[in-house]
Amino acid sequence: MKKRIAILGSTGSIGKSLFKILDKNKKNFYIELLTAKTDYNTLLKQATRFKVKNLIITNKQSYKLLKEKTKKTNIKIYNNFESFNKIFEKKIDYAMSAITGIDGLYPTYNIIKYTKKIAIANKESIICAWDLLFKKLKLCKTEFIPVDSEHFSIWYALKGNKKENLDKIILTASGGPFINLPLTKFTNIKIKDAIKHPNWKMGKKISIDSSTMMNKVFEIIEAKKIFNMKYKDLDILVHKNSYLHAIIKFKNGISKLVIHDTSMSIPIFNTLYSEDNKKIKSKKININKLNNLDLIKVDKKKFPVTNILKKMPQKSSFLETILVAANDALVELFLNKKINFNSISSELIKIIDSKEFLSYKHSSPNNIEEILSLRKYVQLKIRSNFI
């Protein structure tokens, strides 16, 4: 029987990687839904190749163009995620949430009740709304698998082990393009340098987050929430090759090291085939990399945003939303040449330390609307300071 699946954000890098995997075994899958924001051409090509009958595209202009292109087909085109109840008559087998940014929060939350399994690549959803997501996952009896290479590695290593047996989790960071750059030269960093990740091909936003190491701060917050850990039991080590993804230490003294190629196809493949024991073509174990893991501690002078983790409350709060929103706004300002590279980190720390925003650490969101409202307020306030 064919597995019925949906891909939220099918035209992005994660969505395209999933498509390559599906393409090798098309006969075993039926795609119920694909979604995109603006790229209607790629969306239509994907739909045509897999005979997909339901598409959501949220940009109004792209929606009009796609409607025009498909008017002589039986493809149904929707403009918003409220359409889920029209598309899914019963639970599908698998959904991939790969929409980037906070825009992915609402659809990720709402598709949970329509799928038996959800793979989440949208880190903002987990950071800002994990308690809400977890509650809904339990209510709908939906299995969750993280897609981020580090969190997938931990999830995989925990198979057959209880979370209560965990002692410590260490995530690795490549260090981005500036790991070897002297601190004195950080004031002259250009956009073209900040988006050159040494190991991964990524979009501009995530590449900037890697260069400041903000992405690793987010990943620690994600790991804390997903695996119900305390911040003191989580750490970061720099590993330039991105071959070792996580170290998991158990209370019985045993540790697991999880390695795999620097390719997102491996975690994506395993979320899709988590129960099927399928084989993926991969490279041989790299002995040279294993012999030269070269793990080092994070230089907190170069990457001051890592100090933010000491300020985060153990309980979920609105502070996570403020952190995500503020970082998004500051990275956007840097890409628009309104602020310099160092200001991303310094301004972010100022915001987190401000009396106004610190007060939010004592309350948590009751619904998605509260998160989106706060995000809008934070970003407007930051942008107004630099215009």
Residue 171 in contact with residue 148, Cβ under 8 Å? no
- Alpha carbon 87 to its chain centroid, in Å, reads 25
9-61 pLDDT per residue, tens = 999 999 999 999 999 888 889 999 999 999 999 999 999 999 999 999 999 99
162-218 pLDDT per residue, tens = 778 889 999 999 888 999 999 999 999 999 999 987 776 777 888 899 999 999 999
For residues 156 and 298, membership in a common domain is answered with: yes
Domain presence at residue 93: yes
335-368 pLDDT per residue, tens = 999 999 999 999 999 999 999 998 899 999 999 9
CATH code assigned at 90: 3.40.50.720
* DSSP-assigned beta bridge partners for residue 31: 5
Angle, CA 148 vertex, CA 144 and CA 151 arms, to 5°: 70
Domain boundary among 147, 182, 213: 147
For residues 162 and 302, membership in a common domain is answered with: yes
> C-alpha distances in angstroms, 232 versus 136, 139, 221?
28, 30, 12
Residue 50 in contact with residue 2, Cβ under 8 Å? no
Predicted confidence at residue 163, as pLDDT, reads 79
For residue 51, the surrounding DSSP H or E stretch is: none
As given in the structure block, the two tokens for residue 121 are: 């690549």
Q: What is the DSSP letter of 194?
A: H
**pLDDT mean across residues, the chain:** 93
Predicted confidence at residue 173, as pLDDT, reads 92
Domain presence at residue 267: no
User: Could you list the residue range(s) of the whole structural domain that residue 319 is in?
Assistant: 313-387
For residues 326 and 383, membership in a common domain is answered with: yes
| Nearest Cα residue to 214 out of 236, 247, 245 | 236
SS3 content of the chain, % helix, strand, coil (to 5): 50, 15, 30
For residue 328, the surrounding DSSP H or E stretch is: helix 319-335
Please state, as a whole number, how many other Cβ atoms lie within 10 Å of the Cβ of residue 89.
Answer: 9
For residues 303 and 155, membership in a common domain is answered with: yes
**Using CA of residue 59, residue 65, residue 66, residue 67, what is the dihedral sign?**
positive
Report the b/e string of 243-269 with b at 16+ CB within 10 A.
bbbbbbebeeeeeeebbbbbebbbbbb
Domain boundary among 129, 147, 165: 147
95-131 pLDDT per residue, tens = 999 998 899 999 999 999 999 999 999 999 999 999 9
Predicted confidence at residue 387, as pLDDT, reads 67
For residues 69 and 29, membership in a common domain is answered with: yes
Predicted confidence at residue 200, as pLDDT, reads 67
For residues 107 and 173, membership in a common domain is answered with: no
Predicted confidence at residue 249, as pLDDT, reads 95
Domain count, the chain: 3
